[in-house]
Amino acid sequence: MDKTTPKVSAVVIAYNDEPNMRGCLESLTWADELIVVDSFSTDGTAQISQEYTNKVFQHEFHGFGRLRNEAVAHATYDWIFSLDTDERATPEVRDEIRQKLREGPDADAYFIPRYNYFLGRRIMHCGWYPDYRQPQFFHRHRMRYKEDLVHEGFSVNGRVGYFRAHVEQKPFRDIDQYLQKMDRYSTLRAQAMYQRGARFHLHQLVTHPLFTFLKMYILRLGILDGMPGLILSGLYTYYTFVKYAKLWELEKNPCLTEKPLRGF
């Protein structure tokens, strides 16, 4: 008797990303279950999600790690495929997931490489490729996200593997959206640093941004990505400066850490 192929729960966390929702969810229609956890969006994110699944849940945002764990907790099946709203699951990723499950997975959590696009160009340098940040396909009882505010870590109890197929991601539609996201993420990052006891030092406003630019544009060959690579390296340099400026601000005014988090 043949062993039944395991089913897949696709999970998406979302907040005010109406322009991306259809593309993201359309790329997941093959999954056995689709779950969207929204953080009380004020645009059409939740309404669009409900067109694709009746499993749309609302959770307050208390950091990315906690929100991802809450999304996984809603899943019915053991194998989880996690996708962000600015990502797309390619047919090749779908096929590799099906193959892994049909043949029997050789790992408990899998990293999936990303093709990231910025200003109309696929960025192959700047540290943006293959962009392994955290496993996106995993067994729910073998991996858990650390409950960090931002840039959340993870722990895997078992083997880690790597896909050949790629996810596609367009994290920023344009420079204006980068700046909007940077404002939110730099606040979250500064709060996370402050909460774990990191303290501001004056040199951080100079040395850290400078190192960020040199790392992305020179050491990680962002120079080969043309004008988008130069702009991206400059924007990350600015983000680094603002992050440490906000850490300084938190030290001067700790009550800022008590402000409620408004989605992501």
Domain boundaries, the chain: 8-169, 175-258
Q: Mean of the per-residue pLDDT values for the chain?
A: 95
Mean pLDDT over 15-26 rounds to 97
Q: What angle do CA 105, 56, 118 make, to 5 degrees?
A: 70
The answer to whether the beta carbons of residues 151 and 189 sit under 8 Å apart is yes
Mean pLDDT over 224-253 rounds to 97
The CA–CA distances, whole Å, from 133 to 111, 136, 144 equal 8, 9, 14
Q: Which CATH class is domain 8-169?
A: alpha beta
The model's pTM: 0.92
- Residue 1 is predicted with a pLDDT of 32
Mean pLDDT over 205-223 rounds to 98
Q: What angle do CA 226, 229, 233 make, to 5 degrees?
A: 145
Mean pLDDT over 41-62 rounds to 97
- Residue 149 is predicted with a pLDDT of 82
Q: Which amino acid is at 112?
A: I
Q: Grade residue 259 by pLDDT with cuts at 50, 70 and 90.
A: low
Q: Looking at per-residue confidence, does 151 or 158 come out higher?
A: 158
Q: Grade residue 3 by pLDDT with cuts at 50, 70 and 90.
A: low
Mean pLDDT over 117-133 rounds to 97
Query: How many residues comprise the chain?
Result: 264
CA nearest to 198, candidates 251, 152, 145, 151: 251
